[in-house]
Chain A
């Protein structure tokens, strides 16, 4: 048999270094870690709250410490990146057709940002 196709193996752990677009994808995936971690933090906060005012105050103090602030900032940046990277692809996943035309992707993305802003304002308002 003269055939002998050559198979190029894809490196299992370092494949995403091959392409900038793979790196962008990994950034989106990795930032989800912070979102998960922040959710976990909220759960811990709830637990502390259930353990009484002192425990909760300790939790809040820890959050106000330098590591806490650093973590919250990092989580915020990651969450913003993660969310925007998803917002930007929503027109692909949820196209809306009106008659023959499709609603421009920018409008769908824009609607997401608008809802986000409104929800953030409400949360901020409730926090004050």
Chain B
């Protein structure tokens, strides 16, 4: 097993003692198959117990360990050391306030996510005792991709629009609304449209596409947002040109 020394530059910020962030460099002996998270854990266990960061599953599904790695939003558990030079810089996710070291304040995302009603609003009333809502594999495929979002927020760290306009609802929240809108069992689109088809909603998106490029789960939030735009535009034309077609 090949071993390699890397210089891990970690952004440090202790709100109790620091006025602004600084970088601290650790020399870490790494196995080539390691991910950046392993290097951080090495630091925490052997070099400096005071470094703070979030992590749990180490298999890219819990969404805890999002951070900027050499300037790119990444899950630390899926950023392989062998893909990086000997100098690796880790910073907290961009566009979020830094709570401490690599830990960010993410309340803004949580609030926005909740605001889009990301849950099934059933089209028809049906008691559980009457069995499942039928849904064909094709109907499932229509929205399946958007269910894969792990809420890691890398898309927010990548989205320049979110950085410039903090009111923007952002990629993950809107694509989750789209996920439910596309679900054959759901009838809640009108309720969600009030939130997502607004100025701070989908129309703040200028389709940079960065969210989809960094998404570790290939959810393609950018695609979802454009689809919401197309559907909202069709709504507008229907309402203004064909008022009789209103439901």
Contacts and interface: CB of A to CB of B under 8 A. Distances in A.
Contacts of B98: 5-8
B163 interface: yes
Contact of B99 (A5, A21, A25): A5
B122 interface: no
Nearest to A25: B208
A22 B163 CA distance: 12
Interface residues of B, number: 33
Contact of A92 (B94, B105, B141, B223): B223
A25 B209 contact: yes
Contacts of A16: 160
A97 B182 CA distance: 12
Interface stretch (B14-22, B50-58, B113-121): B14-22
B123 interface: no
A104 interface: no
A12 B206 CA distance: 16
B141 A10 contact: no
Interface string B225-237: 0110110000000
A94 interface: yes
Interface residues of A, number: 28
A10 B209 contact: no
Interface in B85-141: 94-95, 97-99, 105, 137-138, 141
Interface in A38-52: none
Closest 6 interchain pairs by CB? A92-B223, A93-B226, A5-B97, A4-B15, A10-B163, A6-B98
A92 B160 contact: no
